[in-house]
Amino acid sequence: MKVEQPASITGRLIRGTGWNLAWRILSRSIGFVSMLILAQLLMPSDIGIVALATSISMSIDAISQFGVRDALVRLKDHRKELYDTAFTIQFGRGVLTAALLVALGAFSTDWLGDPRVGPVLFVLALAAVIGGAENIGMVSITRDLNFRIQFFMQLGPRLLGFLVTIALAIIFRSYWALVGGAFVTKISNVGMTYIASPHRPRLSLSGWRYLLSFSLWTWLGSIAVAIWTRSDPFLIGPYVGAAMLGIYMLSAEIAMLPISELLEPVCATLFPGFAMAQRQGGAPTQMGLTVAAILAFGTIPFALALSATSGYVVAGLLGHKWDACQPVIAILTWVCVFSPFSYVSPLALSVEGRVRQAAVAQGLAALIKVMALVYVRETHDLRVVAEAIVAAFALESAIFIFQLRKAGAGELRRVAMTTARTVLATAICAALLRYVPGTWSVVTLGRIASLLWGGMIGVMTFVIFPAVLAGLWFISGRPLGPESRAVEIFQERVVRPLFG
């Protein structure tokens, strides 16, 4: 059997991350164009009906993730009985989700006050059944880190759904255009999985013991993650009111851009990458610490720039009627500083089969956040709420780092020293940015001027931070650790291809 070398795995991870980032950019672009067109063709109530129905469907989906695909990714070899069992569980989950959506749809008029939501939930229920029939053989493509195929598989259905949505909106001027487009996307996406993979699944439960031992804790972890990510509006909404909740939710979406646009696409490749490395004798938890520290080199300047230019971002993208978002964005963005450890650590633990530890850590993190929000929500101050969430995220990252203590004292010491240098570089960069006019404050400039000034400060941040961090690393004697590994990757993937 051919053994993958670490450099080969690193190269695959980088290429896979590139394809995921490309997909994220393209999908966002299609969504933005679609939003601009639909805003002219549909009424706000149309979009609201579909948003309400899809949020219900997505919440059910989030708390019913059993993690059977992850269990297959970490296998050392392809075992058909496990693939068939995973398909059966996946399809059963789709049927149960559909049944719950139908039940909720039958009473939607009573508990939501709008009879139009019910029929939409019925269509989403049918889509859930179809989605459950997705070819489980696609896991093999993920195991091989072949994200190029996934990119083109997603592209076709996404474009087809976009065209169907716009066509139906032009013809009917109804919210059913959104429903129809989403339904066509789902059908075509499932069909593509049977074209891309030769595997033909069948119903079987012969491998349920292995999958249940892994998936039960994964499912509990997914519930904890759902509570962490979706509890904010339910916990603080009744206390701050609809207007302030809108400010908070929009601020959070902008503040989390370093996570949604950088960290999440990277993490989509890390689980199969860690699994491949483990099959070749690597230690995912040891790798996880180094990878998280390297990712911090990218998320920290992104977060720092976004926090410093929060006033320019609000003035340039949202307009001055949203000036109240500025301090919330400036604070919440610091969540991204701790996010690499919180995102990478559960992946490394799960690959090693330590799913119970990952689930317990995720549960503790969710509990800490809920307690923090319950404690501060009566202040009616969104800045205090944002500070509480940042503190909860910092505690969460500490919990996960503690879970990775088996990585070894040497690795922990190297990452600790790297973290100290990174924190010092962040503090120096922030202190320098304080001298730039308009940072961390509301600005009164127009849209174009705000975007130009904000962009310049962002570029300045991405120059100053790595320069300061590199200087601190050189002063420390260029020790082995995440910085040295980042330099190696940069030389292998950028310098050598360009300059030979």
4: pLDDT confidence band, cut at 50, 70 and 90?
A: very low
Confidence check: pLDDT of 447 > 60: yes
Which of 197, 226, 255 represents a domain boundary (last residue)?
226
Q: How many structural domains does the chain have? A: 2
Closest CA to 263 of 434, 432, 386, 393: 393
Residue type, 361: A
Average per-residue pLDDT for the chain: 85
Chain-centroid distance, C-alpha 187: 24
User: Which of 218-222, 446-450, 465-469 has the least mean pLDDT?
Assistant: 218-222
Structure tokens at 345: 């650590």
Distance CA 288, CA 401 (A): 10
Pair of tokens at residue 78: 């392809």
Whether residues 327 and 433 share a domain: the answer is: yes
Burial (CB < 10 A; 0-12, 13-18, 19+), residue 448, is: exposed
**Considering all CA atoms of the chain, what is the largest pairwise distance in Å, rounded to the nearest integer?**
68
Nearest 5°: CA angle at 289, between 488 and 232? 125
Residues 368 and 221 in one domain: no
Residues 323, 444 share a domain? yes
Domain finish residue from 208, 226, 244: 226
Specify the amino acid at residue 262: L
**How sure is the predictor about 499, in pLDDT bands with cuts at 50, 70 and 90?**
low
**241 and 149 within one domain:** no
Share of the chain above pLDDT 90, in %: 30
The residue among 178, 210, 226 that closes a domain is: 226
Average pLDDT over residues 443-471: 93
- Residue closest to 363 by CA, chosen among 333, 390, 400, 391: 400
In terms of domains, do 218 and 236 share one? no
* Among 284-288, 394-398, 414-418, 427-431, the least confident range: 284-288
d(CA 271, CA 399): 20
Q: Is 328 exposed, middle or buried (0-12, 13-18, 19+ CB in 10 A)?
A: buried
Q: Are residues 325 and 185 in the same domain?
A: no
User: Given a cut of 60, is residue 2 above it in pLDDT?
Assistant: no
Together in a domain, 463 and 478: yes
Quick one: pLDDT band at residue 433, thresholds 50, 70, 90? very high
Domain match, 436 and 341 both: yes
Statement to judge: residues 235 and 186 lie in one domain: no
What is the predicted pLDDT for the residue at 15?
82
Question: Of the given ranges (61-65, 360-364, 389-393, 407-411), which has the lowest mean pLDDT?
Answer: 407-411
pLDDT for position 168: 92
Segment 22-30 shows an average pLDDT of 86
pLDDT digits (tens, 9 = 90+) for 304-326: 999 999 999 999 888 888 899 89
CA distance 498 to 477: 28
Same domain, 185 and 325: no
Cα–Cα distance, 122 to 76 (Å, whole number) = 40
CA–CA separation, 140 and 197 (whole Å)? 8
Residues 6+ away with beta carbon under 8 Å from 428: 468
Q: How far is the C-alpha of 318 from the C-alpha of 35, rounded, in Å?
A: 16
pLDDT tens-digit map of 323-354? 998 999 999 999 988 899 889 888 888 888 78
- 3-state SS of the chain? CCCCCHHHHHHHHHHHHHHHHHHHHHHHHHHHHHHHHHHHHCCHHHHHHHHHHHHHHHHHHHCCCCCHHHHHHCCCCCCHHHHHHHHHHHHHHHHHHHHHHHHHHHCHHHHHCCCCHHHHHHHHHHHHHHHHCCCCCHHHHHHCCCHHHHHHHHHHHHHHHHHHHHHHHHHHCCCHHHHHHHHHHHHHHHHHHHHHCCCCCCCCCCCHHHHHHHHHHHHHHHHHHHHHHHCHHHHHHHHHHHHHHHHHHHHHHHHCHHHHHHHHHHHHHHHHHHHHHHHCCCCHHHHHHHHHHHHHHHHHHHHHHHHHCHHHHHHHHHCHHHCCHHHHHHHHCCHHHHHHHHHHHHHHHHHCCCHHHHHHHHHHHHHHHHHHHHHHHHHCCHHHHHHHHHHHHHHHHHHHHHHCHHHCHHHHHHHHHHHHHHHHHHHHHHHHHCCCCCCCCCCCCCHHHHHHHHHHHHHHHHHHHHHHHHHHHHHCCCCCCHHHHHHHHHHHHHHHHHHC
Spatial separation of the C-alpha atoms in residues 286 and 124, rounded to whole Å = 42
pLDDT tens, position by position, 198-233: 888 888 888 777 777 777 778 888 888 888 887 787
CB-based burial of residue 169 (10 Å sphere; 0-12 exposed, 13-18 middle, 19+ buried)?
buried
94: amino acid identity, one letter: G
Higher-confidence position of 15 and 11:
15
* Selected residue with higher pLDDT from 111 and 4: 111
pTM, 2 dp: 0.79
For 118, the domain range is 1-226
Query: What would the mean pLDDT of 410-426 be, rounded to a whole number?
Result: 87
Give me the pLDDT at residue 244, please.
84
Residue 111 has pLDDT above 70, yes or no: no
Query: Tell me, what's the pLDDT at 248?
Result: 87
Confidence of residue 114 (pLDDT cuts 50, 70, 90): low
222 and 358 in a common domain: no
Shared domain for 212 and 271, answered yes or no, is no
| Average confidence (pLDDT) over 277-298 | 84
Mean pLDDT along residues 6-11: 64
